[in-house]
Chains A and B, each alone.
Chain A
């Protein structure tokens, strides 16, 4: 009875089915604007939150990189002969990991200090020079690991010296950044799971509303793939909307934060430009929205069809 010639080819029929499912999904979304907007807003908010926190972390790291242009290690040497200090400085200068060594003898330091005082005669009351000699070492490599290794080398060479590294706080910041990233990852994963389940519940509810249609379609020969397809496209559409909305929210967050953060940085003497999201972030957010929407649609339709 069937004249296959009138029917589209297998691939064409499959493509047509997909196009039709996508069109119907769009139609359904547009005809339930309230529900669509709420789901897009939930998805957008949940995507924007970790993205915003990530942006803050990245800016904090950029700030530390800006400040970190010249890490230096200072060795303070008390009661050490000028010759010993010079010899140690010369030796350190020859090390491969060292860019430059600046030595300030205790007498030189006292002279500088004297020059800075309004009444230099006050220092004549001192019996001895209380100031230590200082060897300032500028490492060649700026990574916290290289600076740390150099510090250990210096401590071995001059165990009596007090070593102060201004690179320490950068290392602390690096550790905080790594911990922050991990926390963010966990928060992001939990939020993603939550929003996927919300989308799954919404998708299952929508399929249940179409119970009669599904029952008739099944009797007529519809496969589960056919019945599931509108939910998957619906999920993708919500995901696309959510991704775009999250990008808008992210930009609003950045614009609200940029001025006060940059102002605060200036107060701390660390001028820097608060960076907004790059195009890459936009693509990741939209991609994440599409993936979560698809998974939500898949889970929801599987649950509804299984019921």
Chain B
């Protein structure tokens, strides 16, 4: 699903966020990306979603070479990815269901069908009863779950999550991670950046450790038994 070959990302000003990173995540796998703050986890996820371009190296995602992907095909490519952010990035001018429906609007789903899918996604994250609530009335954990529902509502092939439990207490964090395991069980490939080593090491899934822009473990295969 994801292949990176000798990828380097240097920002203007000379800061090198990633140095010569190579990795492979197979379709159907779930892996955690660990490392301290500033290790380059977010940059790596942004490169995979093509929100950034590498300075050097090659990235293949879902069979597409991002180096040769034309700009006009970028939207189409991004539709195969679900993105979860640490700060949720919800729209506070509309209720929960409209936030979750955004990817379906872009894909042109009929209103009734979109409603059905939004309700299914909210049900999965345990927020069906809050579908008409305004995001600002929800707790941080609930807001994060709305963000997750939005990321998976269009059933993307790949889910990328950047510190999804960064602001949550341990109990909520475990719940959120359990959601990702559930999505992975039905076939969604996932790469989750987290610095919460204690939590993710208990889940028994592969970890890719980034330190100062360099990567340790590199190849993640699909586990035989789902966790």
Binding site for B on A (CB under 8 A): 1-3, 6-8, 12-14, 16-17, 20, 212-213, 215-223, 226
Contacts and interface: CB of A to CB of B under 8 A. Distances in A.
Contact of B103 (A13, A14, A16, A220): A220
Nearest to A216: B89
A1 B156 CA distance: 7
Contact of B51 (A212, A219, A226): A219
B107 interface: yes
A226 B76 CA distance: 12
Contacts of A20: 105
A219 B106 contact: no
Contacts, number: 72
Contacts of B155: 1-3
B106 A12 contact: no
Contact of A7 (B77, B105, B107, B157): B107
Contacts of A216: 89, 91, 102
A68 B93 CA distance: 67
A148 B187 CA distance: 90
Contact of A17 (B89, B108, B150): B108
B72 to A, nearest CB: 8
Contacts of A16: 108-110
9 contacts: A1-B188, A2-B154, A2-B157, A16-B109, A212-B91, A213-B102, A220-B78, A220-B106, A221-B103
Contact of A217 (B76, B102, B187): B102
Contacts of B12: none
A12 B108 contact: yes
> Top 4 A-B pairs ranked by shortest CB distance?
A13-B108, A221-B79, A221-B78, A223-B75
B78 A6 contact: no
Interface in B76-115: 76-80, 83, 89, 91, 93, 102-103, 105-110, 113
Nearest to B51: A219
Interface string B126-144: 0000000000000000000
Nearest to A6: B113
A8 B110 contact: yes
A213 B91 contact: yes
A8 B109 contact: yes
Contacts of B103: 220-221
A221 B75 contact: yes
A8 B107 CA distance: 9
B200 interface: no
B48 interface: no
Contacts of B93: 213
A1 B106 contact: no
B89 A212 contact: yes
A189 to B, nearest CB: 34
Interface string B43-87: 000000101000000000000000000001001111110010000
Nearest to A12: B108
Given A1-B156, A1-B188, A2-B155, A217 B106 contact: yes
A64 B155 CA distance: 73
